Chain A
Amino acid sequence: MGSSTREIKRKIRSVNSTMQITKAFELVSTAKLKRARDRMDITKPYFETIQTAVQDILSADKRIKSKYIASGEQVKPLYIVVTSDRGLCGGYNINAVKKSLEHLKTKDEAKFIVIGKRAYDLLKQHGYNVIDSFLYISEKPEYIHAAQIAKVAMTLYEKGEVDSIHFVYTRFVSTISQLATDLLLLPIDRPEINDDDATTIVNYEPSPEEVFKYIIPKYIESTLYGGLIESSASEQAARRVAMESASDNAEDIIEELTLSFNQARQAAITQEISEIVGGAEALK
C-alpha cells in the first residue's frame, strides 16, 4: 500500500466533509425558503392591491399633475439594491448588483442605497457613491425597515438630489429561477390612457393632490416591502439550488476518487504478488 492510496483516501475524506456541510446548508435553506414563501404569499395581496390602486388613479385621471409623474429626462438616478448578507448563493448577489449598473455610464452620476452586506462591499470596493446602507435585515425584512428606506429615498427626491428612484430586487419566478429586476419607483410612468373607458369620474377627498401626496409614500413603502420579502425568498431559493449542485458535484468527485482508490489498491496488491512470486522463483 503506497502513499498514493493514502493520498486518495485523504481527499475522499475531505470532499466528504465538505459535502456534509453543503447538505446541511441545503436543508437549512429549504426550511427557510418555505418560511419566506409563506410570508410572500401573505404580503402579495397587499403589494398588488396598492400597485393596482395607484395605476388606476393615474390612468383614471388626467388632471393630476405632480412632481411624482414622469416628465423629461432623468440624469441623477438613485438605486436601491437588495442583496443578501451572506454568500454561497450562486449568482444571486452579483446578478442584482450587475443589474443596477447596467445603464450607468459613469460612476459618479448615480447614488446608491444598499440593503445587504454583499452589495455594500462590492459597490464600496469599486468606488460607487453609497449614501446609505441597511445591513442584516435582508433575511427577515419587516415593514418598518421598508418605511425607513422609503424615508431616506423620499427625502433625497424631495430635495432634488436625485431625480429618479430605481429599485433593484430579485423576483421570485420559481424555486429554480430568480430574476434580478430593475423597477422604476419614481417618477411614475403614467399608463397609456384609453379614451374609450376614461368616462368614470373619480372623486377625491379632499383633493386629488392631497390624496396623491398621501398615497405616493405609501406606494413606495409597500413596493419596497414587497420587493424585500420577495428578494429574501429568492435568496433562499438561490442558495438551495447552489448547495444542491455543490452536493451533487461532491458526490461525483467521491465516486471518481473511490474508483481511482480501488485501482491504486489493486495495482499495489498485484505488484506485491508478483514480487513474492519473483522472490520465490529466485530461491529455487
Chain B
Amino acid sequence: MGNKFMLEVVTPDRAFFKGETDMVILRTTEGDIGILYDHEPLVAPLRTGSMRVRLDDQSYRWAACSSGFMTVSEEKTTVIVDSAEWVDEIDIDRAIEAKKRAEERIHEGREKGVDVMRARLALERAINRIKLREVRK
C-alpha cells in the first residue's frame, strides 16, 4: 500500500466522492491513466468510461462516469464529470431503456432531423453502464 492522496469527484447533482486513496484509474480521451501519490500536475479531458478507486484492502471500487475532466495538483486530484455512479447503483433497466431509445433515434436519424450526435453519446453512456454492471457485478 503506497502513500495516499486526496481524491475529489464532483458531478452537477452531488459531491460523488471525497476521500483518500492510493490509486485511481480514469479513462481520458487518450486512454486509461492511473494516478498515484505525488503525480505530476496534470489536466486531461475524460471520456465516457469507468473509474476505479483502490480501497484499503487493495480491491477496486468501480464506477461508471460520463465525460468530464480531471486536474491533478500537489494538494489533490479533482475529477469533474457530468454524471457518475458506483456499479451497484446503476439502474440497469433504465440503461437498457436508454440504449433502446438511443438506437431508435439513430435509426430514424436523418429523415426526422434527430440530433444524431447526441443520440450517439447517449448510446455510448447506456452501453457503458450496462457493460460495467454486467462485468463488475
- Asked if B13 and A43 make an inter-chain contact with CB atoms under 8 angstroms apart, the answer reads yes
- Asked if A202 and B42 make an inter-chain contact with CB atoms under 8 angstroms apart, the answer reads yes
Contacts A46-B80, A205-B43, A215-B69 known; list 6 others, CB within 8 Å.
A204-B42, A205-B29, A205-B42, A205-B45, A211-B69, A218-B80
Does A106 sit at the interface, judged by CB under 8 A?
A: no
Residue B15 contacts which of A45, A143, A218 (CB distance < 8 angstroms)? A45
Where the two chains meet, the residues of B that have a C-beta atom closer than 8 Å to any C-beta of A are: 8, 10-15, 28-30, 33, 40-45, 68-69, 71, 73-74, 78, 80, 82
Chain A residues, Cβ within 8 Å of B74: 200
- Asked if B30 and A205 make an inter-chain contact with CB atoms under 8 angstroms apart, the answer reads yes
Given A42-B14, A143-B12; A56-B44 close (CB under 8 Å): no
**Which of B8, B10, B12 has its CB near the most chain A CB atoms (within 10 A)?**
B12
- Asked if A56 and B71 make an inter-chain contact with CB atoms under 8 angstroms apart, the answer reads yes
Chain B residues, Cβ within 8 Å of A203: 40-43
- In angstroms, Cα B35 to Cα A89, docked, is 49
The main secondary structure of chain A at its interface with chain B is helix
Chain A residues, Cβ within 8 Å of B73: 56, 200
Where the two chains meet, the residues of A that have a C-beta atom closer than 8 Å to any C-beta of B are: 42-43, 45-46, 49-50, 53, 56-57, 60, 143, 200-206, 210-211, 214-215, 218, 222, 225
- In angstroms, Cα B41 to Cα A57, docked, is 10
**Which of A46, A50, A203, A210 has its CB near the most chain B CB atoms (within 10 A)?**
A46
Residue A49 contacts which of B10, B30, B40, B82 (CB distance < 8 angstroms)? B10
- Asked if B69 and A46 make an inter-chain contact with CB atoms under 8 angstroms apart, the answer reads no
Closest to A204 in B: B43
A103, chain B: closest CB distance, angstroms: 30
Given A49-B10, A53-B71; A202-B43 close (CB under 8 Å): yes
Chain A residues, Cβ within 8 Å of B30: 205-206
B45, chain A: closest CB distance, angstroms: 4
- Asked if A211 and B43 make an inter-chain contact with CB atoms under 8 angstroms apart, the answer reads yes
Closest to A57 in B: B43
Residue A57 contacts which of B11, B71, B82 (CB distance < 8 angstroms)? B71
A243, chain B: closest CB distance, angstroms: 30
Closest to A229 in B: B12
Chain A residues, Cβ within 8 Å of B28: 205
- In angstroms, Cα B57 to Cα A200, docked, is 33
- Asked if A202 and B41 make an inter-chain contact with CB atoms under 8 angstroms apart, the answer reads yes
Chain B residues, Cβ within 8 Å of A46: 10-12, 15, 80
- Asked if A215 and B42 make an inter-chain contact with CB atoms under 8 angstroms apart, the answer reads no
Closest to A210 in B: B45
